[in-house]
Amino acid sequence: DILLPPGAEKVDWEVELAVVIGRRARYLRTDEEALACIAGFAVSDDVSERAWQLDVSGGQWSKGKSAETFNPFGPELVTPDEVDHTGLRLASWVDDVPRQDSSTADLIFGVATLVRDLSQYLVLEPGDIVNTGTPEGVALSGRFPYLVEGDTVRVAIEGLGEQRSRVRRATR
């Protein structure tokens, strides 16, 4: 389940390719070094409370993405030798209505670039997860309503699986 925190009113979904780090990534110089640090890939729903992300945090994303149950992950980890991550279809639905439909080929920054660049500013450790960004089709666009209690969110990536989350209010 995705739990809506008390006071949350602009909770959004984001299907994303999750990159799981398999060995320490620190000051990497090449894309090849970055790719060698990857343990595998998974489906991620980078759930965000947009008011907390944009209004409360002054543009810093951490508050809007850190509530319990945000970033559902899985259903499994697929190793790099099992899948070519560069052209996977990814999609999302809210109550079985299509919201996002794209490909990892359309990422602004490729997986290797993201891992290499991040390693210049922080040390990535085994088990760390790097979300790669989301395609158009989220509520922040203004085209769709934000999530409410009772919604069902489904996110899927070709070759990596699918997850389904029911949206409900968190209780104390």
108-155 residue pLDDT tens: 999 999 999 999 999 999 999 999 999 999 999 999 999 999 999 999
CATH code of 51's domain: 3.90.850.10
Give the pLDDT band of residue 56 (cuts 50, 70, 90): confident
Residue 51, domain extent? 2-169
The whole-number pLDDT of residue 125 equals 98
- Indicate the number of domains in the chain: 1
Contact, 80 vs 38, CB < 8 A? Answer: yes
Contact, 57 vs 63, CB < 8 A? Answer: yes
The whole-number pLDDT of residue 63 equals 81
Entry pTM: 0.93
Q: How far is CA 95 from CA 42, 86, 99, 155, 165, in A?
A: 22, 28, 10, 11, 10
The whole-number pLDDT of residue 81 equals 97
Give the pLDDT band of residue 57 (cuts 50, 70, 90): low
